[in-house]
A = this chain, B = another copy of it.
Amino acid sequence: MKKACQHHHDLAPQDLSSLTSRLRRESRKITGPRAAILEILRHHPHPLTNREIFGELPKGECDLATIYRAMQMLEKLGMVKRFDFGDGAARYELMGEGDDGHHHHLICTQCDTVVEIEECFPAEIEQHIAAKNNFKAVTHRLEFFGICPACQK
């Protein structure tokens, strides 16, 4: 009954080699920690916090600070998208090559279940808001919150 998601998550995750070549292209080194981090992101459909990534890693594989530095770099290179669920921890999701990664989530306020959302804020309304206030390059951050079926008792 669940409709197929239209984001890259459904597609076979991009292979590691395409990811590492992107790094090489930017003259970044392919290190153990980085490969491990990308491997984890590749297999997760929803945004992960640095601590969650750290938890997925075999202990001793890599320092938490290294993950923070890696995610910063990956975000700068446009390889991951950063999300904010309002709980004080940044979350990252791998994004496809051309893709700008813009999309939204529906989060259960009780159990933190995350659903990828395909709907977006209507462009016409956004343009109207931008024009009315003489702003340029307007975009938005949008996340939905509610009670998931399982938590409804």
Which A residues form the contact surface with B (CB < 8 A)?
3, 84, 86, 88, 106, 108, 115, 117, 119, 121-122, 125-126, 128-130, 132-149, 152
Contacts and interface: CB of A to CB of B under 8 A. Distances in A.
A126 B139 contact: no
B136 A152 contact: yes
Contacts of A144: 126, 129-130, 135, 138-140
Given A86-B84, A146-B136, A125 B119 contact: yes
Contacts of A146: 130, 135-139
A122 B126 CA distance: 12
A84 to B, nearest CB: 5
Contact of A145 (B108, B132, B140, B149): B140
B139 A141 contact: no
B135 A106 contact: yes
Given A84-B84, A148-B134, A149-B134, A129 B119 contact: yes
